[in-house]
Structure 1
Amino acid sequence: MEQKNTVLIDNQVVELNGEKNILELTRKIGIELPTFCYHSELSLYGACRMCVVEIEGRGIMASCSTPPTPGMKILTNSPRVQRVRRTVLELLLANHERECTTCDRNGSCKLQELANRFGVKKIRFGERDIKLPLDQSSPSIVRDPNKCILCGDCVRMCSEVQGIGALDFTGRGSKATVAPAFNKQLSEVECVNCGQCSAVCPTGALVVKDETDKAWAAINNPEKMVVVQVAPAVRVALGEEFGLPAGEIVTGKVVSALKRLGFDKVFDTCITADLTVIEETNEFISRLQQGEKLPQFTSCCPA
């Protein structure tokens, strides 16, 4: 090699600059390896094995959990790597409920996307013969263990980022799944309904509860006044969802669209944030005057 502190990735010389793993290194040069369980803000897990690469002298290795060392010769798309990835996808699909057309994540499912990307047309392994019950007890999240691929993203997000720990692995072998402690329902544990588990879930195992039908029923009820409260983040995020430039504020478009749909009133969450500030101020003054315990901690977030 030309430099000592380099590796060879697909015959391309790449300089090392403190990357923690091979996956970071490949992304630096524009090679996007498939992953299910890797998130830069979460701890390394290395469970899905989709990000495997072939390293000369070492064989097939998970790129997310393998640190690069000078002199490595790495192949990211060799025939052997392709076979391993397809086999992993087949195994995941064999253990996964495949009613894709009626799934909430149809069209945005990462398992579906990668199966199409790698040309998985047939599954050589038999389907699972156990149907686990849905957990619809939560007011905001629906948990379907039949669609779980055990990537662990939700477990680590709930524990490491949110600091709650409402979900974890349970069972062993083919009976392994992700669930609240003692197989309780989400409504029976300390879930704060933040929705971050569903945000990182690559399949339809954890989805936000859809109450569209209830909204339409309310809109079409002449005896009800239907009010929408829009959070500040929605002003930007909704625009990106519809292909508008990142960062574009679409407050006016959101209000107009909601009014045309039939909502009677549209309020900005900032109004309630202002009301919260007023209440917090009154409480602080009361505590200060009466010599009650300080400091006072508050949060506008319902979670």
Structure 2
Amino acid sequence: MRERHELFQVIDALEDQSRVKVAAVAPSVRVAMSEEFGLPPGRVSMGQIVAGLKLLGFDYVFDTNFSADLTIMEEGTELLSRLRKDPGAGPLPMFTSCCPGWINLVEKNYPELIPHLSSCKSPQGMMGALIKNVWAPRLERDPADVVSVSVMPCTAKKGEAHRPADRGATYSSKIDGPVPNNDYVLTTREIGRLFRLRKIALPALDAQVPDDPLGESTGAAVLFGATGGVMEAALRTAYELASGGQELPKMEMSDIRGLQGVKSSRVCIPNPDGKGPGAVVRVGVVHGTAETRALLERMKLGDPAAQFDFVEVMACRGGCIGGGGQSKSDDALVLQKRMAHVYNLDEKSALRKSHDNPSIQKLYESELGRPGSARSHALLHTHYADRSEQTT
């Protein structure tokens, strides 16, 4: 088995002057891209990646951190709905849905868990939907006129881009049918190879900012790159929404950071009116397929230490920083170094909670209404299928 390379299809697309070329860069790509140039993690900035992509011929470069913030708005709202047992809300525990490797595992091996998956698309899925359904119409361009290239740390993201539930949501009047939201997915290694083929030395470039309106993001978004980061980002927002505006006592959640296979914590969310003890939310974080299978078995057997309300799962060790499409490294500490840079980017961010992102607020005001609305569900949510009978 090997990854499906799409590098030369992207090169051909970049030469097509009749279409608008858009790239969107995932959170963890920025902490590993420097390794493609023989430098330690984090030496190449997101701004230099943006500049390099523009030199390659992309007309616009967006930051998938934006749609990570959007994911938190939708997923945090969904979690609160399930905790409240709202009519139509899914069961607890709720599992995150950002990792396509994990989604594949559930659909093929644990279909009974499908109702427990968050219905939210991944940040890649949300970004593609926004590019084709919101941004392209603002540009007065048909979705078929836009080539959307997602730059990801993950080979499984290539398969996610072709999921029937995600591909058929966007229609073109030009071809009288559906078009993919994400046309191509390039891994960190593939885009690094393309930079080298075109002799673009990212470390020497002056930084450029991602394009508006899908380029503004918070420190919470970059946390998606590391195991425990989705959980931490979600809790920053869910806590404040549920408590009527109170902030988490401490922004950094050390209990769910690090490379331990399974991590857990409890978060007490106070009542908005200040009365009563509030609600205790049990959260769990697991990374690596073997650790995930073991945790699911413990949960199934009723292990008291493995009972949660909200669980983050990443198939790769370390989360997306250790994704199958990342730069190869002989450094035994590379995951720790990438993770440290993720947390450093968060700490240096002016905004560190997804709901404080002004571009996210404007998107809801102009297009989506509110998190969890019918419009949000049509664009930003998905569904899953029992594939346990498939043999290949």
TM-score normalised over the length of structure 1: 0.30
- Structure number with higher relative contact order (C-alpha < 8 Å, ≥ 6 residues apart): 2
Structure with greater helix percent: 2
TM-score, with normalisation over the residues of structure 2?
Answer: 0.23
